[in-house]
Chains A and B, each alone.
Chain A
Amino acid sequence: MNVAVAKTGSGRAVSDLFASAEGRLPGSPDVIAVRREAFETYERLGLPHRRIEEWKYTDLRALVGEVLPLAAAPDATALKRAAEAVKAHAIAGARKLVLVDGVFAAELSDVKALAAEVSFKTLRVTLDKDAGLLKTASTDAVVALNAALATDGVVLSIADGTQLSAPVQIIHVATAASASAVTRSQVRIGKGARATIIESFVAAGAAAYQVNDAVIVSIGDDADVAFVRLMDDAPDAVNITSQFVTVGANAKLNFFNMTSGAAVSRLQGFITLAGESSELSVNGVNLLKKTEHGDTTLVVDHAVPNCVSREIFRAVIDDRAHSVFQGRIIVRPDAQKTDGKMMTRALLLSDEAEADNKPELEIFADDVSCGHGATAGALDESLLFYLKARGLPEKQAQALLIQAFVGEAIEQIADDTLREHVIGIAERWLERRS
């Protein structure tokens, strides 16, 4: 497939999409001009496909085909449905910021409680003045599409030294079927601040929808941050999330992703260690079944010396599902004394389950310690038999071993309530299996 074909294929549909979306897109004329440019970039590139190296295993043209029109702004009925879903997926004690079908819903959010510790605006308001948030260094077509069509998002700023007393949970709720929700958010965490930010994706009865989310995170020097994404979208949904994270000096970032929903999904995380002596812990779990396709692509860029990064990724793949893990560690010429390790394991629960694993080390400094390891295999029969011989039925024995398998990644989450919440999502996934 060449570019010209792409244009006459999915390209034209998007053209119409942009024209019809324009009335719903917030921003001054300047902002709209930036959007139009981003849209033209997208139109030129079309949806990523397998000949784009970074998307080799996740051919969106084949898997998704077309981008759906933007969802209408939620009405009262939609908000009511969303409220139920929020209740079901809220993390105890967390302060919620809710986006319904790509639009911020103040009535479902804890804006007041948040205000004491965090400065908060919607993307919509921010774009009245400034198009800056729509710009990233990324050349990715889905990121360009996001800039063109983002309807809303949250813009958070946590001042230097602030110790958040409760986690912030951004909840994306889908109520509109066969439509797109396009959101973009920004989280700035000041020097020496301490914060836990969670982004959840859930459905409120909607089916066959598409999510395109982008998040830009900056973490100041000496900050201590947990950043967690929990994607539990509807089984026939599409979720493409792009995260751009910059970490300052002497900071700690504990990053976690769990993919337990959506027919087609990709999390692409680009984390740059831009200040010395920082510690990065990146952990992820894919739980996939049926014909689901889940892609976790992580690029950790050691731009400066003396940082440590650890990545633990676990994929559990049932039926004919397909899990992709691409982990790249870049060590720039200056980044001496980098210590970067990556370990990925895939558990194949059926003969037709598929796992692609592509670790890449791009090392340009000489005094570093980097490595990666990968395994893929079925559940250990001897362990299964031991559990069964002690009275556990097959599915329960499997569930216990699967929990242990993903537990290695989940236990990296420090906050007890949050960790239990994540374990709960895994347990529900396992229950749905049996």
Chain B
Amino acid sequence: MALLEVKDLKVRVEEREILHGLTLTVNEGEVHAIMGPNGSGKSTLSHVIAGKPGYEVTDGEILFRGEDLLEMSPDERAAKGVFLAFQYPVEIPGVTTMNFLRTALNAQRKARGESELMVPDFLKKVREVSKSLNIPQDMLKRGVNVGFSGGEKKRNEVLQMALFEPSLCILDEMDSGLDIDALRIAADGVNALRSPGRAMVVITHYQRLLNYIVPDVVHVMSRGRVVKSGGKELALELEASGYAQFEDAA
């Protein structure tokens, strides 16, 4: 059974159809890249998978391990193992990153019927992961993403991914705003999480990220549909020729 199956998905935002019948299948262990011009609907797809309100699904379905994802609340999806690293992570003043991480992890565990993680175990885990991502400890004492640089916000998303150990990771433009060193650190963090039981969907505009996180499948999205899929060489092709050919196709 596929981990994620998006079938003929049609989505509207404020009466305007953004996804016009999108189909995508992701199996365990695979890394998929989605590329496509601005406004083609990549973030919309990721938001609908995560359960963000404001999107109306008018047709099609999304199955996660065969279960209807659209029937679940966002927190249920998270507990099932769906994780979206946001293109624009929000700032939450007054909620320390540490408190947030612990509350979120324990909420997910509780929803799965697992016991809460003991504080020392939790701290140990956070320390390990943040160290590998080059995140200083005092950043974790600040409000979630408050005053974080663009790169720090993205690293904080990867930190959460590493901590929550989801089975589906959707990375929406994780590379935007990262300098070359930060990109390598974040990509290493992501690669460390690659495993046979876990799949990743990497949304990006740049082939460069795919040198670090090498995909099994590359999809081209245009105007609300997947218009072409192929191997990693497709990304190189796009880099050379752009999206014009697909705009016509779509």
* Interface membership of B118, Cβ < 8 A: no
* Interface membership of B41, Cβ < 8 A: no
Interface centre among B51, B89, B94, B105, by most chain A C-beta atoms within 10 angstroms, is B94
Judging by beta carbons under 8 Å apart, are A404 and B78 in contact?
A: no
Judging by beta carbons under 8 Å apart, are B78 and A389 in contact?
A: yes
Find A386's partner among B73, B77, B89, B143 (CB 8 Å cutoff): B89
A389 with B94, Cβ < 8 A, contacts A396-B107, A400-B100 known: no
* Interface membership of B125, Cβ < 8 A: no
Judging by beta carbons under 8 Å apart, are A401 and B78 in contact?
A: no
Task: List the B residue with the shortest CB-CB distance to A380.
Answer: B90
A404 with B90, Cβ < 8 A, contacts A391-B104, A392-B75, A392-B104 known: no
Judging by beta carbons under 8 Å apart, are B53 and A385 in contact?
A: yes
Judging by beta carbons under 8 Å apart, are B53 and A391 in contact?
A: no
Find B78's partner among A388, A400, A408 (CB 8 Å cutoff): A388
* Interface membership of B197, Cβ < 8 A: no
Q: Which chain A positions have C-beta within 8 A of B105? A: 391
Judging by beta carbons under 8 Å apart, are B94 and A404 in contact?
A: yes
B14 to chain A, nearest CB (A): 15
Complex Cα–Cα for A408 and B52 (A):
28
* Interface membership of A394, Cβ < 8 A: yes
Find B75's partner among A382, A388, A400, A404 (CB 8 Å cutoff): A388
Find A396's partner among B52, B79, B86, B103 (CB 8 Å cutoff): B103
Q: Which secondary structure dominates where chain A touches chain B?
A: helix
Q: Which chain B positions have C-beta within 8 A of A270? A: none
| Contact bitstring A157-192, B, C-beta under 8 A = 1, else 0 | 000000000000000000000000000000000000
Judging by beta carbons under 8 Å apart, are A391 and B89 in contact?
A: no
Complex Cα–Cα for A401 and B84 (A):
21
Q: Which chain A positions have C-beta within 8 A of B93? A: 404
Find A393's partner among B75, B100, B143 (CB 8 Å cutoff): B75
* Interface membership of B40, Cβ < 8 A: no
| Contact bitstring A395-417, B, C-beta under 8 A = 1, else 0 | 01100110111011000000000
A391 with B95, Cβ < 8 A, contacts A385-B52, A386-B89 known: no
Find A394's partner among B75, B77, B111, B160 (CB 8 Å cutoff): B75
B100 to chain A, nearest CB (A): 7
Complex Cα–Cα for A385 and B164 (A):
17
* Interface membership of A125, Cβ < 8 A: no
* Interface membership of A381, Cβ < 8 A: yes
* Interface membership of A387, Cβ < 8 A: yes
Complex Cα–Cα for A391 and B78 (A):
5
Q: Which chain A positions have C-beta within 8 A of B111? A: 391, 393
Question: How many B residues touch A, CB cutoff 8 Å?
Answer: 29
* Interface membership of A3, Cβ < 8 A: no
A391 with B107, Cβ < 8 A, contacts A385-B74, A386-B92 known: yes
Complex Cα–Cα for A278 and B185 (A):
51
Q: Which chain A positions have C-beta within 8 A of B160? A: 390
Judging by beta carbons under 8 Å apart, are B51 and A383 in contact?
A: no
Q: Which of B91-110 contact A (CB under 8 A)?
A: 92-95, 99-100, 103-105, 107-108
A238 to chain B, nearest CB (A): 32
Task: List the A residue with the shortest CB-CB distance to B84.
Answer: A389
Judging by beta carbons under 8 Å apart, are B104 and A381 in contact?
A: no
Complex Cα–Cα for A393 and B92 (A):
17
Q: Which of B52-83 contact A (CB under 8 A)?
A: 52-53, 73-75, 77-79
* Interface membership of B50, Cβ < 8 A: yes
Q: Which chain A positions have C-beta within 8 A of B95? A: 400-401, 403-404
Q: Which chain A positions have C-beta within 8 A of B104? A: 387, 390-392
Task: List the B residue with the shortest CB-CB distance to A392.
Answer: B107
Q: Which chain A positions have C-beta within 8 A of B52? A: 385, 389
Q: Which chain A positions have C-beta within 8 A of B164? A: 390-391
A158 to chain B, nearest CB (A): 34
Q: Which chain B positions have C-beta within 8 A of A380? A: 90
A11 to chain B, nearest CB (A): 48
A162 to chain B, nearest CB (A): 36
Judging by beta carbons under 8 Å apart, are B92 and A389 in contact?
A: no
A389 with B103, Cβ < 8 A, contacts A401-B92, A404-B93, A404-B94 known: no
A388 with B94, Cβ < 8 A, contacts A396-B103, A400-B100 known: no
A389 with B90, Cβ < 8 A, contacts A381-B53, A400-B100, A401-B95 known: no
A405 with B94, Cβ < 8 A, contacts A392-B75, A393-B107, A394-B73 known: yes
Judging by beta carbons under 8 Å apart, are B94 and A391 in contact?
A: no
Give me 9 other A-B pairs in contact (C-beta within 8 A), A382-B90, A386-B92 excluded.
A385-B53, A388-B74, A389-B78, A389-B84, A391-B111, A392-B103, A404-B92, A404-B94, A408-B94
A-B contact pairs, 22 of them (CB 8 A): A382-B90, A383-B90, A385-B52, A385-B74, A387-B92, A387-B100, A388-B51, A388-B73, A389-B52, A390-B107, A390-B164, A392-B75, A392-B104, A392-B107, A393-B107, A397-B75, A400-B95, A400-B99, A401-B92, A404-B94, A405-B94, A407-B94
Which B positions have Cβ atoms within 8 angstroms of A?
50-53, 73-75, 77-79, 84, 86, 89-90, 92-95, 99-100, 103-105, 107-108, 111, 143, 160, 164
Which A positions have Cβ atoms within 8 angstroms of B?
380-383, 385-394, 396-397, 400-401, 403-405, 407-408
List 5 A-B pairs, minimum CB-CB distance, nearest first: A404-B94, A391-B108, A391-B78, A390-B104, A388-B74
